[in-house]
Amino acid sequence: MVPRQTLDSLVTSVASELMGVDATTMVAATQRVLAALVEHFDVDVSYLRHTDRERRATVLVAEWPPREDIPDPDPLAVVEFETADSVFRALEYATEPLVVRPDTDSADYQETIRKSSGIPEVAMACVPLVSRGESTGVLGFVKMGDRVWTSRELNVLKAIAALFAQLQARVVAEEKLRYIALHDDLTSLANRRALLEYMERRLEAGKPGPVATFFLDLDRLKALNDFLGHSAGDNFIQTLARRLETNLEPNDMIARLGGDEFVIVPAAPMDAVAAELEATRIQQFIGRRVSVGQESVSRGVSVGVALGIPGQTSVSDVLRRADHALLSAKSGGGNGVAVFTDAMRAQFELQDDVELNLRSAVSDGSLVLHYQPEVDLRTGRIVALEALVRWQHPTRGLLPPGAFVSVAEATNLAGELGRWVIRSACSQFAEWRQRGLASNVVMRINVSPVQLVSADFVERIEDVLHLFGIDGSSICLEITEHVVVQDLVRTRLTLRGLKRMGVQIAIDDFGTGYSSLSHLKALPVDAVKIDRGFVQSLGDSNDDLAIVKSIIGLAGSFGLGVVGEGVETAMAARTLVGLGCYRAQGFLIARPMPAADVEVQLREGRIPLDLDLPRAGRGVAPS
């Protein structure tokens, strides 16, 4: 409280009262100052108003004493200059104090006061807040009846008004900085920092929950930027931001994390069912078309949903889960909604674990190769072995390649893993051959796309073959169709290099990708392996029969070998033989097995099959 004092010390004490004030404390501090001024100048009311230039209005900041029974809406809270009384109107651009006395002028103002207070006559002093020569507000005093203001008093009030003007300018600047710090500049939505602050508050123990979190990602936004230009992409994002604002509740948190990523946290608590419904609603209104310049475009959106429990789930956990769910929504083809589940949790834990431990697994001997024989169906003779990697995981048991190969590819470990596989398979192969086993057998090794495009791939293969004394033609590398299509030029170069060493190439999982005939013709490929999806049901599916037939025909016309994968039934095996595909692999014949077990079969040289083949198919197989 500012004590009653001399005029000069009054200014000093107001200055110190206002010194440390910011946006949050401004109103309270202003009230304290106004109260002191009311007392000091012996007036009845004092107020501070700011000018909102954009709205052309004067806005009440604080007043003293507080009014009783303020109507709602408060007619004094925001007053537009256009419709204001003559005193306020005169103050819109005023920079010098305006004093109004009962006996002077301004009949309509007196009228307003009379109506609102019931008091017939007042005296007023209105001292403009001036910042850079411009009026930014007013410090006002009202005295019932009459009062004379000395010029010395008015000068002191000007000094105090200047202090308020400074404070206001500072608060506005601080607010602007705070706004910039918490908003995305393209869309004016909240940014990551604002989102995190907000979520921290929502997830405090004792707050209502569950707190639903939606992670949104536009499908193929990049294509939009690429084809329509970046400003079109920006426009598109801005339109979506407005659409989110209009279709969501005013208190919902809508943040843009950059690019095409948005996060929404609805203000209302929601369970999983409600959250999924809401996510679907959002997904639908986002998916509606937007006009960008001349074009009308739409983008699907994928939404990942996760729930946070206040006091239990951390902000980063909720966001990570929503992000995981988003990934799963996207891998389902995009334009979908996925809620984070326990199954996802298990899968992502596994993935994290793999990422963490795979590197050491490559070097510490916990990777193993199993081998699956491939036979000539007519004789049962083993013609090839496919090396299939497994990971003897310390706690999770023997992991199939599906659990870690893709993680290796995503984390730059594919090269290391691949080198280990090639080396180990060749080393084992050479050892068998030294003991007179596997001499007419081909070793098949799976190669991941990343390996194939690495610059020194061909030399590395050459080194390994040389090291173990294996001729190139005893090796067959299996590549998938996808890699072939993705980088035809590079692939062709690598494959040619391999061909020069006599290394064979097979296209794996044939029929699932997009290789056209022309691709096949352009590449030095020796064989195709018919994807097991087509082979498994041979015998009871006519569709698959037609596809398998055409693959075999195609291979024949290009002079390529053909292998049937995934032979699980005698029916499938017989059908393959009937179509002229004799080489096959599958659980019916043999499962992938450890080296020691496959060695037993190599000694036999063949795996007896009872297929009950028609005579013609049983002839002596060419070796």
**Contacts to ligand C2E by CB under 6 A:** 372, 388-389, 400-402, 405, 418, 421, 446-448, 478, 508-509, 532, 565-568, 585-587, 592
Minimum distance, C-beta of residue 410 to ligand C2E, in the bound complex (Å): 13
Contact positions with Ca ion (CB under 5 A) in 155-214:
none
Minimum distance, C-beta of residue 582 to ligand C2E, in the bound complex (Å): 17
Minimum distance, C-beta of residue 480 to Ca ion, in the bound complex (Å): 8
Q: Are 123 and 147 contacting, i.e. CB atoms less than 8 angstroms apart? A: yes
In this complex, which beta carbon is closest to ligand C2E, that of residue 11 or of residue 447? 447
Minimum distance, C-beta of residue 512 to Ca ion, in the bound complex (Å): 9
Verify binding: residue 374, Ca ion, rule CB under 5 A: no
Minimum distance, C-beta of residue 447 to ligand C2E, in the bound complex (Å): 6
Q: Are 157 and 127 contacting, i.e. CB atoms less than 8 angstroms apart? A: yes
**Strand, helix or coil for residue 200:** helix
Minimum distance, C-beta of residue 449 to ligand C2E, in the bound complex (Å): 8
Partner in contact with 566, chosen from Ca ion, ligand C2E, none, beta carbon below 5 to 8 Å by kind = ligand C2E
According to DSSP, residue 2 is labeled: P
Quick one: CA torsion of 376, 421, 559, 579, rounded to 10 degrees? 40
Q: Residue 547: which residues within 8 A CB-CB, separation 6 or more?
A: 511, 534
Partner in contact with 431, chosen from Ca ion, ligand C2E, none, beta carbon below 5 to 8 Å by kind = none
In this complex, which beta carbon is closest to ligand C2E, that of residue 217 or of residue 508? 508
In this complex, which beta carbon is closest to Ca ion, that of residue 143 or of residue 532? 532
Contact positions with Ca ion (CB under 5 A) in 453-492:
478
Partner in contact with 402, chosen from ligand C2E, Ca ion, none, beta carbon below 5 to 8 Å by kind = ligand C2E
Candidates 7-15, 101-109, 446-454, 568-576: pick the segment binding Ca ion (CB under 5 A): 446-454
Q: Are 213 and 306 contacting, i.e. CB atoms less than 8 angstroms apart? A: yes
In this complex, which beta carbon is closest to ligand C2E, that of residue 113 or of residue 475? 475
Partner in contact with 260, chosen from ligand C2E, Ca ion, none, beta carbon below 5 to 8 Å by kind = none
Minimum distance, C-beta of residue 390 to Ca ion, in the bound complex (Å): 14
Partner in contact with 556, chosen from ligand C2E, Ca ion, none, beta carbon below 5 to 8 Å by kind = none
Q: What are phi and psi of 266, to 5 degrees?
A: -60, 145
Candidates 119-127, 371-379, 564-572, 596-604: pick the segment binding Ca ion (CB under 5 A): 564-572
In this complex, which beta carbon is closest to ligand C2E, that of residue 207 or of residue 591? 591
Partner in contact with 468, chosen from ligand C2E, Ca ion, none, beta carbon below 5 to 8 Å by kind = none
Q: Residue 523: which residues within 8 A CB-CB, separation 6 or more?
A: 484, 488, 491, 492, 495, 505
In this complex, which beta carbon is closest to Ca ion, that of residue 302 or of residue 446? 446
Q: Are 465 and 426 contacting, i.e. CB atoms less than 8 angstroms apart? A: yes
Strands, sheet with 134-144, edge to edge from the N-terminal-most edge strand: 78-80, 57-64, 45-52, 134-144, 122-131, 98-100
Verify binding: residue 508, Ca ion, rule CB under 5 A: yes
Minimum distance, C-beta of residue 519 to ligand C2E, in the bound complex (Å): 19
Alpha carbons 281 and 287: distance in angstroms, whole number:
10
Using alpha carbons, select from 257, 278, 281, 283 the residue that is nearest to residue 268. Answer: 278
Minimum distance, C-beta of residue 260 to ligand C2E, in the bound complex (Å): 32
| 297-313 burial code (b ≥16 CB/10 A, e <16) | bebbbbbbbbbbebeeb
Partner in contact with 587, chosen from Ca ion, ligand C2E, none, beta carbon below 5 to 8 Å by kind = ligand C2E
In this complex, which beta carbon is closest to ligand C2E, that of residue 305 or of residue 445? 445
Alpha carbons 592 and 586: distance in angstroms, whole number:
9
Residues touching Ca ion, count (CB under 5 A): 5
Alpha carbons 61 and 161: distance in angstroms, whole number:
13
Binding flags for Ca ion, 514-553, as an x/- string (CB under 5 A): ----------------------------------------
One of 46, 446, 474, 494 touching Ca ion (CB under 5 A): 446
Minimum distance, C-beta of residue 444 to Ca ion, in the bound complex (Å): 7
**Strand, helix or coil for residue 524:** coil
Minimum distance, C-beta of residue 293 to ligand C2E, in the bound complex (Å): 45
Q: Residue 15: which residues within 8 A CB-CB, separation 6 or more?
A: 163
In this complex, which beta carbon is closest to ligand C2E, that of residue 212 or of residue 389? 389
In this complex, which beta carbon is closest to ligand C2E, that of residue 199 or of residue 547? 547
Partner in contact with 389, chosen from ligand C2E, Ca ion, none, beta carbon below 5 to 8 Å by kind = ligand C2E
Q: Are 88 and 50 contacting, i.e. CB atoms less than 8 angstroms apart? A: no
Q: What is the DSSP string of 8-48?
A: HHHHHHHHHHHHT--TTTHHHHHHHHHHHHHHHHT-SEEEE
Q: Residue 289: which residues within 8 A CB-CB, separation 6 or more?
A: 296, 297, 298
| 159-178 burial code (b ≥16 CB/10 A, e <16) | bbbbbbbebbeebeeeeeee
Alpha carbons 606 and 228: distance in angstroms, whole number:
61
* Helix ranges (DSSP H) in 23-122: 26-41, 86-91, 107-117
Minimum distance, C-beta of residue 424 to ligand C2E, in the bound complex (Å): 9
In this complex, which beta carbon is closest to ligand C2E, that of residue 65 or of residue 400? 400
Partner in contact with 420, chosen from ligand C2E, Ca ion, none, beta carbon below 5 to 8 Å by kind = none
Binding site for Ca ion (CB under 5 A): 446, 478, 508-509, 565
